[in-house]
């Protein structure tokens, strides 16, 4: 009996771009039937490594081996022909086309005169869908599928060849728990067929649930490979950032002020129902729940972006009607939105202009914008939030995720809000900036701001909140103080176990 | 599945319903307002209508493919004029004169080749420079028109070939030559877009270009072929029309791009690409021609046609938006 | 090192490409023909560019706000015909405000559809191109419009007059350019136009009334069209129904040539003025060389594509598109 050889092996990969050493001697091997996690902060080199593997970038030095055979990758298609398949984080599907056309995108079977061989196409697709065990057929339009089912189509693409290695890039980013279970089963099936899997994710709990080994990159350098069973989250984090991240439970106590915001029986169609809560000055209120539980929609309603069907919103005891963001801002409500690039910032504008946008009407000298007043605000919050940028004229799109997020936070702090809502404050942000933003939110509470934090990351919610509201399927399931909350009762509350309901595919 | 079917039926079917409404309206209104005593839905009248739809129609069919592919072509009017000039001018060349009636297919071939080459130039520029098709064809709309004047001068060019005129005025199975060209083009393009790999890839590229690129579809060549096709079709349209009329003015074909785009949008094709249907565009073309004729029939001044078509285009957009609204829960952005 | 130099050149080209192209172009023509840079020639070019230029100023706002305006050509025909018609019916003093009112109403209608109803601006303004053309034809009954007493009206002052020796159209064009340039670059409104065009959703999330801003850009565009119509009518004191036909694309060409992105969020009034002047000087330079007007079309084609290509190439850092 011979020892199994790795399905895929990278040896000493170096890749430099002008001014940056993106990969500095990275090695990695994936055994048949193994799930191998690849971890690292944003910018650590994971995506560059995958681009080298997919033939998009040629490595400066180093070698790729498929089943120990040296191979030069030239394109994702060639990689696929060699059995190395990528499943991308951003779904890349043509949603107006059928499932079959998407699965065989770029490789539709041909008949004479350039015609599509529909019979073969549907037969081949049905065979693939059968192995995935999904509940839709080959002719379904992809745009009509749920996100999870679209992910299945994406996975189906990988199965048009007999893959040796499949690379999953953040596959669970937009999946519900129930949908994740299906995904993990597909991964397990691939494993039993001897396929090697590279699994890229930031989510520790998943990594520890499904992977066999974990390789870590930091600053383009290979930091080591750990056996999942023998390591801990802390050890992995240390490798990733060179120190551990403080995500201890929030235990600080300071005196709370009057009720700043009260919501009574707020409803908005199918999105959420009968939501009531109160928020005091100096309090950080966490909203925790799955994607689609209605948290973001509540925030958008409070910010005047959605019209509630019923219910009241009271600010400092006075009922208010908020029909637009302009009115929300006038009432002292600010929202740091979840989608920074599309909702938070005008990426082509400079740092200063982005920061002063909501109050530009007030920063005037005569009819003109006052440069001095603007720069003063920018300087103040740059120092206060430690925003690292060459200057206010820097285009925001060129900043790191963490600094971008600080610009958005600065924009709203400069409005001196009564209520600050922060939706997914650390999404897509490196671990270092994460800690800074957590501290910032804690400080805002201590300074007397009334803050709502919406997050899908449990440690984050536990770390920053004084009180936590658990949501499931558009309803408030339970409210916890920071003393009574445990990870177990929080998971129960948001997964609908208490409501005796199941998550349905969207 | 059902939602997609429902939406397709609504979007692609709406134009045919609109045509029926037009027919009913002009027939009834014509009873009271018409200056002539001929019925609107007179058979000959309808045949003529199809024939008159052909020049814009053939171009609009090509525009559908370009727009499904995610591009736009503003230069079709100029291409049309240039092809017309090549057609009529070439028949006066001594070499072609000597060929007798064989000059006709040669002249046709030269005109169609001209269109295809102009299309290829657009396509190659879009592909190789990465400049948006809107700007490239905006430029070539001016540039090709300049070529028209350079070749032709500022005076009209005329050349009547009676064999050609006879062919153009012929009727086969009751339909005029131009109508046959329109219908055959529609059928061919419909097969192209629904049955062939090129057609399906064109949809994929328009729908999600990045996905198409990731899947290894060669976006560039597909785009170039589609531009060649629309150039060819603009020339075909010219060939069909000028075979009969025999006289071309260097300003001919102006605003054709706008008419063609109007027909395509009326037919429900998405501006952003990836969604649309050849047959619905045919409906859009017929609807516009029906409107022109109908307004004339009920004695409205010809000037109002532009007004009505413009407003209908906008009304269609409004309707489309209302149908796609998600109701009260919608995010107000 | 070589890489750095390349990048440096790229960056300079990206920022000042249009000015450099303009300078090279001017020098080339000046060397070929001395008359080209004579004061009266330059003044003549600016004067004949004024109508196109005024329209381009308004469209710059629309384009920076992230939309198209293809209706300005037929709208200009409309305002020209209307003011000429009303001139004889109401007298010039009433005709001018009446024409401005009607033109602004058209702009407001488009602004309402694109801003508040959120319809696709390309199609809306395409539809309005056709609709306004129909409106103009209906108004005039399809006939040319002429002022009866051409010699005896003070109305000609806008198109033909001079103040301190400077033609009035130049004063109006440059004056409007300065005012609108300052509005765009120095006022809160201008900032909001950039924000709405750069990222409409983020602008909404920052409490900027996106619909109102878009509406106002169309209103400004129609105001500029009304001014252009006034200049046109006053210059010729008579007009065809189709006087502005095709100008929407020339205007767009000038704006794009100036470097405004059709995706919205970038561009300046100054650059648009440069774009307008380039188009004007090309036309003039070719005429001076004895070439027919249509050669200008071909040259403009080449220049538009080269200008945008260089801009795109500088942004992506390579000349040819990497698309397979």
pLDDT at A25: 87
A196 phi/psi in degrees, rounded to 5: -90, 140
C200 vs C186: CA distance, rounded Å: 20
What pLDDT is recorded for position C210?
95
What is the rounded average pLDDT for all residues in chain C?
Answer: 88
User: Looking at the partner chain, which of B140, B148, B311 has a beta carbon nearest the beta carbon of C301?
Assistant: B140
Q: Specify the DSSP element, H or E, that contains C103.
A: helix C92-111
Q: Domain for residue B35, yes or no?
A: no
Positive or negative torsion for Cα A193, A197, A201, A205? positive
Regarding the domain delimited by A8-241, which CATH topology (the fold level of the hierarchy) does it fall under? Rossmann fold (3.40.50)
Does residue A496 or residue A66 have the better pLDDT?
A66
Strands A35-39, C166-167: pairing is: unpaired
Residue C202: pLDDT band by 50, 70, 90 thresholds? very high
Q: Does C271 touch chain B (CB under 8 A)?
A: no
Q: Is the pLDDT of residue A475 over 60?
A: yes
The band of C191, judged by pLDDT with boundaries at 50, 70 and 90, is very high
Per-residue model confidence as pLDDT tens digits over C116-169: 999 989 889 988 998 999 999 999 988 899 988 888 888 988 988 899 888 999
Task: Give the strand pairing for A368-369 and A318-320.
Answer: unpaired
Tell me if A349 and C203 make a contact (CB, 8 A cut-off): no
Question: What is the pLDDT confidence band of residue A505, given thresholds at 50, 70 and 90?
Answer: very low
Q: Are the CB atoms for C58 and C220 separated by under 8 Å?
A: yes
Which chains lie within 8 Å of chain C at 3 or more CB pairs, if any? A, B
The full set of domain ranges for chain A reads 8-241, 245-332+418-506, 346-416
Torsion angle defined by CA atoms of residues A209, A214, A218 and A221, in that order, rounded to the nearest 10 degrees? -160
Contact C119 B318 (CB under 8 A): yes
**C192 lies within 8 A of chain A by CB:** yes
Residues A114, B196: C-beta atoms closer than 8 Å: yes
| Strands annotated E in chain C | 145-146, 162-163, 166-167, 238-239
**Most confident stretch, A57-66, A158-167, A328-337, B245-254:** A328-337
Is B78 part of a structural domain of the chain? yes
Mean local confidence (pLDDT), C38-56: 90
When the candidates are 3.40.50.10420, 3.90.380.10, 3.30.499.10, 3.40.50.300, the CATH number that belongs to A245-332+418-506 is 3.40.50.300
Cα diameter, chain A: 86
Least confident piece of the model among A195-209, C16-30, C122-136: C16-30
pLDDT at res. C16: 66
A120-158 as b/e: b if 16+ CB within 10 A: ebbebbeebbeebebebebebbbbbbebbbbbbbbbbbb
Tell me which of A37 and B41 has the higher pLDDT: A37
Place of tokens 């803050």: A451
CATH of the domain at B250: 1.10.3470
Cβ-contact C291, C224 below 8 angstroms? no
Categorize the per-residue pLDDT at A330 as very low, low, confident or very high, splitting at 50, 70 and 90: very high
pLDDT on residue C15: 60
pLDDT score, position B247: 86
Q: DSSP assignment, residue A343? A: I
Give the Cβ contact number of residue A119 at 10 Å: 10
Q: Is residue A242 within 8 Å of A218, Cβ to Cβ? A: yes
* pLDDT > 70 in chain C, percent: 94
Question: CA nearest B139 in C: which residue?
Answer: C301
pLDDT at A456 over 60: yes
Separation of alpha carbons C185 and C104, rounded Å: 23
pLDDT of residue B198: 94
Q: Is B274 on the interface with A (CB under 8 A)?
A: yes
Residue B99 lies in a domain: yes
Does A270 have pLDDT greater than 50? yes
For residues A74-88, average pLDDT? 86
Query: Is-same-fold flag (A8-241; A245-332+418-506)?
Result: yes
For B:206-225, CB contacts with A below 8 A are 207-208, 210-212, 214-217
Q: Give percent of chain C above pLDDT 90.
A: 52
CB A348 within 8 A of CB C198: yes
**To probe the interface with C, which of B73, B127, B212, B314 has the most C CB atoms within 10 Å?**
B314
Note the pLDDT of residue B3: 60
Query: Which chain B positions have a beta carbon within 8 Å of C312's beta carbon?
Result: 129-131
pLDDT interval class at C2 (50, 70, 90): very low
How many structural domains comprise chain B? 1
Q: Which domain holds residue B293?
A: 50-313
Segment A253-259 mean pLDDT: 83
Residues in C touching B314 (Cβ below 8 Å): 113, 119, 123-124, 127-128, 131
Report domain extents, chain C.
Answer: 32-313
A452: which strand partners?
Answer: A285, A421
CA distance A136 to A99: 9
For residue A1, what pLDDT band results from cuts at 50, 70 and 90? very low
A&C contacts, CB < 8 Å:
73
Mean pLDDT of A52-79: 87
Nearest CA in chain C to B322: C117
Q: What is the mean pLDDT of chain B?
A: 87
Average pLDDT of the residues of chain A: 87
- Does residue A228 register a pLDDT over 50? yes
Mutate to test the interface with B, among C116, C279, C297 (most CBs of B within 10 A): C297
Report the distance separating Cα A55 and Cα A137, nearest Å. 33
Q: Given this model, what pLDDT does residue B5 score?
A: 66
> Can you tell me the mean pLDDT for A49-66?
88
CATH of domain C32-313: 1.10.3470
User: Hunting for tokens 């069919």 — which residue is that?
Assistant: B61
Which pLDDT score, from 0 to 100, does residue C4 have?
40
| pLDDT-flagged residues of chain B (< 70) | 1-5, 7, 34-37, 324-329
**Residue A498 above 60 pLDDT?**
no
CB contact under 8 A, B327 and A95: no
What mean pLDDT do residues A377-383 have? 94
Q: A400 or C179, which is more confident?
A: C179
On the question of pLDDT at A101 being above 90, the answer is yes
Coil/strand/helix, residue A26: strand
DSSP annotation string for B175-207: EEHHHHHHHHHHHHHHHHHHHBHHHHHHHHHHH
Given a contact cutoff of 8 angstroms between Cβ atoms, the answer to whether B267 and B277 are in contact is yes
In this prediction, residue C11 carries a pLDDT of: 57
Contact B257, B141 (CB under 8 A): yes
Question: How high is the pLDDT of residue A343?
Answer: 93
Only one residue has tokens 């959120």, namely C118
What pLDDT shows up at residue A501?
41
Kindly provide the ipTM of the predicted complex, given to two decimals.
0.86
- Least confident span in A148-162, B7-21, C138-152, C178-192: B7-21
Average pLDDT over every residue of A109-116 = 90
| Mean pLDDT, residues A461-490 taken together | 87
């Amino acid at each position: 009996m011979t020892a199994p050889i790795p399905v895929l092996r990278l040896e000493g990969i170096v890749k430099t771009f002008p001014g940056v050493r993106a990969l500095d001697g990275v090695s990695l091997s994936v055994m048949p039937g193994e799930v191998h996690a690849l971890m690292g902060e944003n910018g650590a080199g994971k995506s560059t490594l995958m681009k080298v593997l997919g033939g998009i970038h040629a490595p400066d030095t180093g070698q790729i081996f498929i089943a120990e055979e040296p191979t030069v990758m030239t394109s994702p298609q060639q990689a696929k022909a060699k059995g190395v398949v990528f499943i991308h984080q951003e779904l890349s599907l043509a949603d107006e086309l059928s499932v079959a056309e998407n699965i065989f995108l770029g490789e539709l079977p041909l008949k004479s005169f350039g015609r599509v061989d529909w019979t073969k196409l549907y037969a081949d697709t049905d065979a693939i869908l059968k192995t995935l065990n999904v509940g839709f057929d080959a002719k379904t339009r992809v745009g009509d599928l749920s996100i999870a089912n679209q992910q299945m189509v994406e996975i189906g693409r990988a199965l048009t060849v007999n893959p040796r290695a499949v690379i999953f890039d953040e596959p669970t980013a937009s999946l519900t728990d129930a949908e994740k279970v299906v995904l993990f089963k597909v991964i397990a099936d691939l494993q039993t067929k001897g396929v090697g899997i590279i699994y890229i994710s930031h989510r520790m709990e998943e990594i520890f649930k499904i992977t066999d080994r974990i390789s870590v990159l930091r600053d383009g350098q290979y930091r080591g490979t750990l056996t999942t069973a023998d390591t801990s989250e802390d050890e992995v984090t240390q490798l990733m950032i060179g120190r551990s991240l403080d995500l201890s439970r929030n235990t600080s106590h300071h005196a709370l002020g009057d009720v700043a915001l009260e919501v009574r029986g707020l409803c908005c169609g199918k999105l959420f129902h009968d939501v009531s809560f109160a928020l005091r000055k100096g309090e950080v209120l966490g909203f925790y729940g799955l994607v689609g539980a209605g948290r973001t929609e509540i925030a958008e309603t409070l910010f005047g972006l959605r019209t509630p069907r019923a219910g009241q919103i009271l600010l400092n005891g006075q009922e208010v009607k908020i029909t637009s963001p302009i009115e929300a801002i006038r009432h002292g409500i600010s929202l740091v939105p979840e989608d920074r690039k599309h909702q938070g910032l005008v990426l082509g504008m400079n740092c200063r202009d982005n920061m002063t946008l909501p109050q530009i009407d007030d920063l005037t000298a005569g009819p003109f914008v006052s440069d001095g007043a603007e720069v003063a605000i920018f300087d103040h919050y740059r120092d206060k939030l430690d925003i690292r940028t060459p200057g206010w004229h820097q285009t925001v799109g060129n900043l790191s995720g963490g600094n971008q997020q600080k610009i958005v936070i600065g924009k709203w702090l400069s409005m001196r809000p009564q209520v600050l809502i922060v939706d997914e404050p650390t999404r897509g942000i490196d671990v270092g900036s994460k800690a800074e933003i957590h501290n910032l939110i804690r400080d805002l509470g201590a300074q007397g701001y009334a803050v709502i934090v919406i997050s899908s990351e449990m440690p984050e919610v536990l770390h920053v909140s004084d009180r936590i509201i658990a949501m499931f399927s558009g309803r408030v399931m339970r409210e916890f103080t920071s003393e009574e909350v445990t990870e177990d009762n929080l998971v129960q509350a948001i997964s609908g176990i208490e409501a005796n309901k199941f998550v349905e595919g969207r | 599945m059902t939602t997609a079917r429902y939406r397709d039926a609504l979007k692609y079917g709406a134009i045919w319903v609109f045509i029926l409404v037009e027919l009913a309206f002009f027939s009834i209104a014509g009873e009271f307002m018409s200056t002539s005593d001929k019925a609107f839905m007179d058979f000959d009248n309808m045949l003529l209508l199809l024939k008159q739809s052909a020049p814009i129609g053939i171009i609009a069919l090509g525009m559908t493919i370009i727009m499904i592919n995610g591009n736009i072509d503003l230069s079709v009017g100029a291409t049309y004029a240039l092809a017309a000039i090549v057609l009529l001018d070439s028949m006066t060349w001594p070499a072609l004169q000597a060929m007798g009636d064989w000059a006709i297919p040669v002249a046709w071939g030269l005109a169609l080749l001209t269109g295809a080459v102009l299309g290829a130039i657009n396509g190659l520029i879009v592909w190789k420079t990465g400049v948006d098709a809107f700007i490239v064809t905006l430029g070539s709309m001016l540039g090709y028109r300049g070529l028209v004047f350079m070749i032709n001068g500022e005076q009209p060019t005329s050349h009547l070939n009676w064999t050609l005129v006879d062919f153009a005025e012929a009727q086969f199975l009751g339909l005029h030559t131009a109508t046959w060209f329109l219908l055959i083009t529609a059928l061919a393009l419909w097969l192209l877009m629904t049955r062939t790999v090129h057609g399906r890839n064109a949809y994929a590229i328009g729908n999600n270009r990045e996905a198409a690129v990731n899947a290894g579809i060669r976006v560039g060549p597909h785009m170039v072929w589609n531009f060649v096709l629309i150039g060819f079709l603009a020339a075909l349209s010219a060939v069909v029309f000028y075979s009969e009329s025999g006289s071309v003015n260097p300003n001919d074909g102006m605003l054709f791009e706008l008419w063609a785009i109007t027909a395509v949008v009326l037919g429900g094709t998405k501006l952003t690409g990836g969604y649309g249907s050849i047959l619905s565009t045919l409906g859009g073309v017929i609807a516009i021609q029906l409107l022109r004729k109908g307004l004339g029939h009920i004695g409205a001044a010809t000037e109002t046609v532009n007004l009505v078509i413009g407003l209908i285009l906008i009304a269609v957009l409004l309707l489309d938006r209302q149908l796609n609204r998600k109701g009260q829960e919608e995010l107000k952005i | 090192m070589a890489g750095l130099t390349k990048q440096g050149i790229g960056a300079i080209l990206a920022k000042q490409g249009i000015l450099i192209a303009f300078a090279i172009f001017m020098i080339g023509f000046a060397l070929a023909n001395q008359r080209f840079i004579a004061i009266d020639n330059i003044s003549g070019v600016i004067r004949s560019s004024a109508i196109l230029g005024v329209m381009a100023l308004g469209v710059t706002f629309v384009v920076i706000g992230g939309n198209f305006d293809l209706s300005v050509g037929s709208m200009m025909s409309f305002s020209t015909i209307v003011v000429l018609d009303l001139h004889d019916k109401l007298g010039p003093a009433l005709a001018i405000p009446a024409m401005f009112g009607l033109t602004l109403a058209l702009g407001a209608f488009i602004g309402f559809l694109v801003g508040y109803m959120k319809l696709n601006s390309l199609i809306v303004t395409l539809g309005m191109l056709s609709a306004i053309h129909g409106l103009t034809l209906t108004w005039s009954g399809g006939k040319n419009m002429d002022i009866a007493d051409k010699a005896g009206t003070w109305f000609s002052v806008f198109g033909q007059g001079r103040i301190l020796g400077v033609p009035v159209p130049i004063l109006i064009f440059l004056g409007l350019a300065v005012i609108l340039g300052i509005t765009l670059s120095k006022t809160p409104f201008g900032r909001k136009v950039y924000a709405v065009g750069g990222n409409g959703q983020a602008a909404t999330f920052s409490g900027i009334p996106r619909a109102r801003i878009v509406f106002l850009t169309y209103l400004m565009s129609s105001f500029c069209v009304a001014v252009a119509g006034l200049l046109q009518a006053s210059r010729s004191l008579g007009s065809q129904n189709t006087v502005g036909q095709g100008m929407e694309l020339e205007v767009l060409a000038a704006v794009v040539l100036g470097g405004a992105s059709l995706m919205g969020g970038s561009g300046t009034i100054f650059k648009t003025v440069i774009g307008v002047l380039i188009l004007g000087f090309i036309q003039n330079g070719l005429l001076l060389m004895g070439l027919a007007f249509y050669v200008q079309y071909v040259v403009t084609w080449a220049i538009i594509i080269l200008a945008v290509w260089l801009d795109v190439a500088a942004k992506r850092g390579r000349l040819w598109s990497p698309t397979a």
